[in-house]
Every structure is written in C-alpha cells, then in structure tokens.
Amino acid sequence: MKSFMIVSLALVAVVSAASVSQTPIPILRQEQDISPDGSFSSAFETGNGISAQESGVLKNAGVKDAEASEVKGSFSYTSDDGTPIQLSYVANEDGFQPQGAHLPVAPVDTNTPPSPPPIPAAIQRALDWIAAHPIKELQE
C-alpha cells in the first residue's frame, strides 16, 4: 500500500506541476473502481491533455511473508516546452520502476566490468592506519 501512496503522490505532483493555470480545466473522463478484495483501478482525462490510469492488486493474498501490493499505471501530459511526456510504471516489492523516453538511462558498456568508485582519501588513511595497527588478541 506504501507504493500506491508514493505513486499517487508522485502522480499528483507531476500533474500539478505540469500546468499552472487560472482557467479551470474540465475533467473529461473519470473512473474509479475499488473491489472487496482490495484491488482497484482508476483513470482520468482532462481538457488540457493530461491523462492517467492506474490499477493495483494484492499478490499472494493470505500467504505469510509473501503478500505484496502491485500497482501498474501510466500518465501523459505535455511539458512546458511542448515535449509530450508519457510514463508507465510498476510499483511492487521490487520498488518503483518507471519507463519513459524522457527518463535518463545510464550508459552500458558490456566490454568491461564496472570499476568501483575511488576510495576517498580520509577512508584510505583510516584503512592504512588499521592495517599498520592490528588488534592484539586478549591473552588469558
């Protein structure tokens, strides 16, 4: 349920930031369904081109330590610079997983394994000191 709240708040923030206007924007379509088993779906579309849909279920209901909420959804709007934004997502026990052409993607180099980041100087000095001053075991 936490993931649903996080996703919903993120969606509200994006939609709110997408268009700040003094003119009321009509809601063209709005649907909501909440089932007794806890699953749900909702969708809306506004007059300024914002649309969103979302559905959620409880996976493995009744199975101790295996229950997990899963929410799937998408939303779209036009950014201030005119770029169409479309984002789809899944939020479940593996976290929030967004997909969209506008999102940055880390480069992938399949030829060499990733190298660890350099050790900060202060940490390296501490490691050197620890290596030079081993702990002597207590003798009984």
Could you tell me if residue 47 is inside a domain? yes
pLDDT in tens, 76-91: 999 999 999 999 999 9
Q: How many domains does the chain have?
A: 1
Contact 85, 76 (CB under 8 A): yes
So what's the pLDDT on residue 66?
Answer: 83
The pTM (predicted TM-score) of the whole model is 0.59
So what's the pLDDT on residue 17?
Answer: 56
Residues 6+ positions from 72 with CB-CB distance below 8 Å: 54, 55, 56, 88, 89, 90, 91
Please indicate whether residue 105 or residue 50 has the higher confidence score (pLDDT).
Answer: 50
DSSP 112: S
Could you tell me if residue 27 is inside a domain? yes
Could you tell me if residue 11 is inside a domain? yes
Q: HSE of 120 in the Cβ direction (CA atoms, 13 Å)? A: 3
Domain span at residue 53 reads 2-103
So what's the pLDDT on residue 64?
Answer: 85
Contact 15, 75 (CB under 8 A): yes
Could you tell me if residue 32 is inside a domain? yes
Please indicate whether residue 113 or residue 6 has the higher confidence score (pLDDT).
Answer: 113
So what's the pLDDT on residue 91?
Answer: 94
Could you tell me if residue 127 is inside a domain? no
Integer-rounded Cα radius of gyration of the chain: 24
Could you tell me if residue 118 is inside a domain? no
So what's the pLDDT on residue 15?
Answer: 56
DSSP 41: E
So what's the pLDDT on residue 14?
Answer: 54
pLDDT in tens, 35-70: 998 899 999 999 999 999 999 998 888 888 888 899
- Sign of the alpha-carbon dihedral angle for 30, 41, 95, 100: negative
Could you tell me if residue 108 is inside a domain? no
> What is the rounded distance in angstroms from the CA atom of residue 128 to the CA atom of residue 86?
51
So what's the pLDDT on residue 89?
Answer: 96
Residue 28 backbone phi and psi in degrees, to 5: -85, -30
DSSP 108: -
Residue with tokens 């969209």: 100
